[in-house]
Structure 1
Amino acid sequence: MTTPERKHTAAGQPGDALSASRADVALFWTARILSVVGVIVAAVAAFLTGAMLIHGQPAYAVLLSVIFLAGVVAALRFWGRRTATQARFKALRWIAAAVFATALAMALWLVPSTATEPSLSAMKSDAKVTVSETPEQIVLSPAGAVSELGVFFQPGARVDARAYAAFLRPLAEAGHTVVIPKQPFGIAFLSTGAFNAARAEHPPVDRWVVGGHSLGGTVAAIDAQSHSAPSGDGVVGLMLYASYPATDMSTLTAKVLSISGSNDGLATPEKINASKANLPAKTTYTVIEGGVHADFGNYGPQAGDGQPDISPDTARKEITEASLTFVKSLSKQG
């Protein structure tokens, strides 16, 4: 004969619902909701990311995969129950729920801006430039004679590394090896060791220009400060695209080029002017009249940016011309 006590301890029976507290019920429904939201967020983020799931650094694709699988497992577990049961280790489960919710928010925020034309076409090899792509970087290699001066360029935050190919390819056509790292989650500060790796992989190049767009330029400035030397070896140039350093670099021995847009709504003219005290006195400043933040790469419009008064193609040509002039001036030295 079955006792009343055993009726109340059978999983999924009414007795469990009665023994569950309000906190148990809240935790139960939180897990249910998060499981569904997790699957949806992972799917939507993957759709919005598109080709970047293949062409980007793998960390973001791994994050979305983990979120999707965790959501599916949680859905099977919690939606398979009819009622809440008394949960053990409630504090740990609430912490896990908070961590999962934070991961969902990060996944949406980290959706990258995918490269557009003409940079996508610039990713194709031809008789002048050989383009190689790995999960960690893009390399534009001159098909002819290779200069001893290379270019290492950090993308802006959450921007497809391919978006800069059309801007930097002319440098490769001029004989300079160009390396564009693919940053984990599209954040340059997570790619601070990439420059050292690039130096080791390209031994014919013994002098470098480091550069970057926006946050990428800030990280490139750190590399310039760490690796420049009065001897002229290592980093000999710093190229800032709509960017500025985070610290005082006024004594930097490397030459500096700062290219900015007059209509930039993010790296505004006021911010560029304020940063001049942190750069060497002989820094070269080039302003793209009518240019905006998103004109420094081919990835579409950007939230918070200004309104352009020139076409993206015109801005790109002016940026490339200034970059070529700067790099050529350094390749004549030493």
Structure 2
Amino acid sequence: MKKLLFVVPIVCALFGAGCAGFSEQPIFTEIIGGEAEPVKIAKAARTEDNTVQLFFSGTAELLSAEIFIPETGETQPCNAENMDIPDGFTDSEGQSGKADTYTAVALTPTAPIGIGAPFVLRGSVSDTKHSVLDFALPFEGANTRPAKLRITEIRPLYSSKPKSEFIEFIVMESGNLAGITITNVGDKQHPHYQFPSAEVSAGETIVYHWRSVEEGICDELTAKTVSGGTQACPAARDFWGPYTSIPKRNANVILIKTRADGDIQDAILYCTEKEFAKREAAPTWNDEELVREAEAAVASGVWRGGAVLKAAVIAPITASKSLARDAKTGVNKAGSWTLRDSKQVTMGKPY
């Protein structure tokens, strides 16, 4: 019997709150059978109860499946249930097909999986040609208790030595940060940052630093963890982006979501005064994605005053200055924000 080694590219559509989920590393599988087209995973999705939905091309039969917990080395069985293919289904590559061209199965863990806890769904399926696909798909436990964050201060432009960009939050509702996403719409290469799993309490201050430019820094996953670095904040929980270089954004939309495709918790729209003056004849967002996300922020109710560029915070923002939100108003609009010079920046101090 001939064995062929395949690399199966899979894009994981993650529906559960707080899902960091799918690894970008290729999943190596062993196909046993003849020269026929082997069974493939067309799409994988994880729901809010950590059920994993697998969609296979063609007719497939599940042979085995289990949950592996890397942190403990333990395994647990999972309950399998066949699923109907929804109308309008598209696979991970955006391809659509008739329902009878796919097979779907839902695999539910039999024991609870912690928020943000890594787990691997592994198993085997066979097709009508008796080809066998062994798969191993990494996920993280869904965040069933996402904390609620409010932006309180932001320094959106870069300053060296090593005062880099930051965004400060106050925790409005206690919960877990796992998968809560900062979407930096103006960054086309790395728009999303997802918080790791960390329990936070209402009233705590959190600071996300976009760049990692010093030694000794670390994410403060617990209240007892202390990060090094001159930009670390003694009175706040510090988290650090993996970047040493990110593009300058003179006009931007920043969204805070429960997950990358989740509900919008908060937002800020801003534009430097110089950039706005350049567009005086036609002061509009110069990017369709900025337009779309600004409109989403307004539609969600987290930003008031409109989605057009002139409704953003227009100020002489520089690399040493920050925008701070008025703590006395619950309405989030351009007039709720004031410009602070370098001596007035209060990064990481209580709101």
- Pick the structure with more helix per residue: 1
Structure number, greater radius of gyration: 1
- Pick the structure with more strand per residue: 2
TM over 0.5: no
Scaled by the length of structure 1, what TM-score is found?
0.24
Scaled by the length of structure 2, what TM-score is found?
0.23
